[in-house]
Amino acid sequence: MQPTAPRRIKKDAHLPHRTIFAALLILIAIPLVIFLGIVVWDDRKYYIVSLMIIFLSMLPFAFKFENRKPQAREIVILSVMVAIGVAGRAAFYMLPQFKPVVAIVIITGVAFGGESGFITGASIGFISNFFFGQGPWTPWQMFGFGIIGFLAGVLFSKGILKAKLVPLCIYGGLSTLIIYGLLLDSASLFMFSSTITWQALLTMFSSGLVFNLIHAAATVVFLFLLSEPLLQKLERVKKKFGIMEA
């Protein structure tokens, strides 16, 4: 049995203005903030950069509701998803790279939209690093988790990504390997090397390939185990309380 697809607003050939606004913030403003942290602050103000990312990710989430304020229960349900992601990452502390975070973020994006997916991913990255250790890598992890959740929500709203087991697992594995893996490998080069060359990038990518494959496999496993029951439960919550229907 496949997971029940969450209700969505009527699909359109064009993206809503709020989603375009969110994309501009996520794809332009937030990378500029990370770049600012590297060039101006020399990766030493990562707390400030992380908080700026959280603030920027809250803006498209707020615009998601357009003519009304989000209700308390809508904030609570996202807080629960963040808590699950943080607890899941901590629970698998002894297994490097084998974490459920990306799976939780994808499920959130599919269930509640790209804006919710991004803020959930960014929040999980920031909060869980109080356990794993904060550092200049935190903003990159926040962006990596968040962008996967945002894309999941957008692709689902356009009908490209289906809320079914196989498509979700394929998207989860590829996005973890390509988006998160390449992004964090590139971040490592910026953080720990004074010389940025194509040879250095290829060396970093090849050395991180095994870890990225483990991370991608973990995402597939957790989506296989969690996507159906969680999406069904979230759909029931949405129908009962009428949340995230902006």
Between these two residues, 154 and 207, which has the higher pLDDT value?
154
- Structural domain spans, the chain: 17-63+72-241
- Tokens (6 digits) for 46: 């990562």
| AA letter at 218 | A
In tens, the pLDDT along 37-58 reads 887 877 778 888 888 888 888 8
* Percent residues over pLDDT 70 in the chain: 87
17-63+72-241: what fold?
Answer: Arp2/3 complex 21 kDa subunit ARPC3 (1.10.1760)
In tens, the pLDDT along 100-140 reads 999 999 999 999 988 899 999 999 999 999 988 888 889 99
**Residue 122 burial by Cβ neighbours in a 10 Å radius (0-12, 13-18, 19+):** buried
Q: What's the pLDDT at 1?
A: 46
pTM: 0.86
| Strongest mean pLDDT among 69-83, 99-113, 179-193 | 99-113
Q: What 3-state DSSP class applies to 179?
A: helix
Q: Rounded to an integer, what distance in angstroms lies between the CA atom of residue 239 and that of residue 231?
A: 12
In tens, the pLDDT along 11-22 reads 455 667 777 888
Report the chain's mean pLDDT, rounded to a whole number: 85
